[in-house]
Amino acid sequence: MAGYRGHLTGALLFFGVYLLGLIYLFSIDAAYQQFTALELVAYPLALLGLCLMFGLWPDVDINSKAQVLFYSIFFVIDLFLIATQHFEEAAYLGLFALLPVLSKHRGWTHTWWAMLLIPLPLLVLPLLFYPERPLAGLPFYGAAVVGYSSHLFMDGLLPRRKRRRRS
């Protein structure tokens, strides 16, 4: 079981592999040429941030640095929603923000299905708002899943390859 530094290190290592894969995919047909110089820096940094955040997310169900980070973010977003009179959205955010602390540590936040479902808005929302670019959210969803999987891997909850003993 890793601490927050171990989870950040694991997410960083997993992200390195993920970024190399993206670079390879975008280099196949020179797809990277569609981006400006700023985007070529900003997108990888945003992906890194997402990967690191989701590398910490599963521990939001326990008193941890991840919990402080995420609930601070939720608080600021909720304040903004209330200040802009989006009360219904603020209420839903508050409701969903409570769910992790209502469960036990290493409960549902440490499952493979949560790894796929929690980041799903990163895939679905761009699809809804930019239907002409259906895959716009895929790299962000991928970074979130990679970060989440690094956490589960570091906690020993994802299968690791077992070495066969030689007799």
pLDDT in tens, 49-79: 999 999 999 999 888 888 999 999 999 999 9
Q: Which tokens is 147 given?
A: 């970060």
Rounded to the nearest integer, the mean pLDDT of the chain is: 90
- Evaluate if residue 163 carries a pLDDT over 70: no
- Evaluate if residue 159 carries a pLDDT over 80: no
Lowest mean pLDDT among 30-44, 46-60, 79-93, 134-148: 30-44
pTM of the prediction? 0.84
- Evaluate if residue 167 carries a pLDDT over 70: no
Distance CA 69, CA 44 (A): 21
Cα dist from 132 to 2, 13, 128, 138, whole Å = 41, 33, 9, 14
* Type of residue at 66: A
- Evaluate if residue 99 carries a pLDDT over 70: yes
Q: Residue 31, Cα to own-chain centre: how many angstroms?
A: 24
Reported confidence tier of residue 104, pLDDT bands at 50, 70, 90 = confident
